[in-house]
Amino acid sequence: MNEITTKILDQIPSNVKFSEEDADVLIRNKDKLLEWEDGLIQGFYDSVFNHDTTRAVFTEGERPAREQTLRDWYQRTLNGPFDDSYWEWQTYVGLVHIKRKVNNAMVTGMWGWIATYLSSKALEEFPQDEALKLVKAVHALQANVTALIVESYLKNMFVAIDKAAGLNEALLGRLVATEIDDMLANAKS
């Protein structure tokens, strides 16, 4: 796995991180989960297009192509495998999102919607034991994927700042450390 992906996933406690058991439960139920695909795509893009700030991300007529992007992601996820290239792809999404000005509030907000949608469906359509395993797997997937997308968004911003202004992440960290106490004091008051 590439360095940035490994470093980001290493930040998540191992009992919270997506596990072999989570992969098994998604893959053994994938036929049912794929039946929920149309609702997932429709609900996701209705939310995003019914809100001015998120709608502004898209160009005229782009919706069908972006719906297909989300379909491809969902199908690739459920078909597995959860290998290095899958996690590295999620890291790459952070970079694509910088280019398209899809910020982390948008991503974490919409992941909340995805997790609620899939968990509700699981609780409606599976016996409780299996439903709870699915809910756990969806939330562990959310932990990994959002971590990779949002953290690579941030880290790649630092890389761009370094390239453009010669201010590397360590130096930026030291500048932040000298400013943070004043910022906290201001925020408190």
Residues near ligand HEM (CB under 6 A) are 48, 54, 57, 66, 69, 73, 93, 96-97, 100, 102, 106-107, 110-111, 114, 145
Q: Which is nearer to ligand HEM, 29 or 152 (CB)?
A: 152
Cα 137 to Cα 18, 27, 85, 144, 167: the distances in Å are: 7, 10, 19, 11, 39
If DSSP states are collapsed to H, E and C, what string results for 72-127? HHHHHHHHCCCCHHHHHHHHHHHHHHHHCCCCHHHHHHHHHHHHHHHHHHHHHHCC
CB of 135 to ligand HEM, least distance (A): 18
Least distance to ligand HEM, CB of residue 145, Å:
6
Cβ 107 to ligand HEM, closest distance in Å? 5
Residue 97's alpha-carbon distances to 82, 101, 182, in angstroms, are 22, 6, 31
User: Quick one: 134 or 141, whose CB is closer to ligand HEM?
Assistant: 141
CB nearer ligand HEM, residue 93 or residue 134: 93
Measured from the CB of residue 2, what is the shortest distance to ligand HEM in angstroms?
15
Among residues 8 and 114, whose Cβ is nearest to ligand HEM? Answer: 114
Q: Report the length, in residues, of the chain.
A: 189
